[in-house]
Structure 1
Amino acid sequence: TVEGAPKQIFPNLEELISKYEKPGQGLVVHLSNPIKRKSLFPTWRRLQLEMSTIYENNDQEYVDVLP
């Protein structure tokens, strides 16, 4: 960070991202407070749930469906 730069406090994650989303703008200090999640499941768990339904194939042209 630049010496003498004012401390900035962001009310939410979206505001923080909007400030640093341009190329060459990086966040070089740790966040002082944790960020609260908006969803119950962590991102990796949500992706697992979504991926588990992608590869279902019920079409008999490709597989033999057993009784």
Structure 2
Amino acid sequence: MAEIALGWLGWTEEQALRTDVNAIRVAYQGRTSMLRAIFGEEDEPERKKQPITTGDQFDAMFGVGRD
């Protein structure tokens, strides 16, 4: 969070330490939304679909049901 508060938001160390983590996240989201509105947004690359883990695969990975 310090990287975001100090670097991206430009806050002082004292401001960052006195601010709740959730407030820093909201401030960062607001800043990025503002920058997108001003400068536009790049086209998002096509996202790969994540494979779905079946119950049998989950059991095999985590040893569920084995003695």
- Fold agreement, TM-score > 0.5: no
The alignment's TM-score, normalised by the length of structure 1, stands at 0.28
Pair member with larger Rg: 1
The alignment's TM-score, normalised by the length of structure 2, stands at 0.28
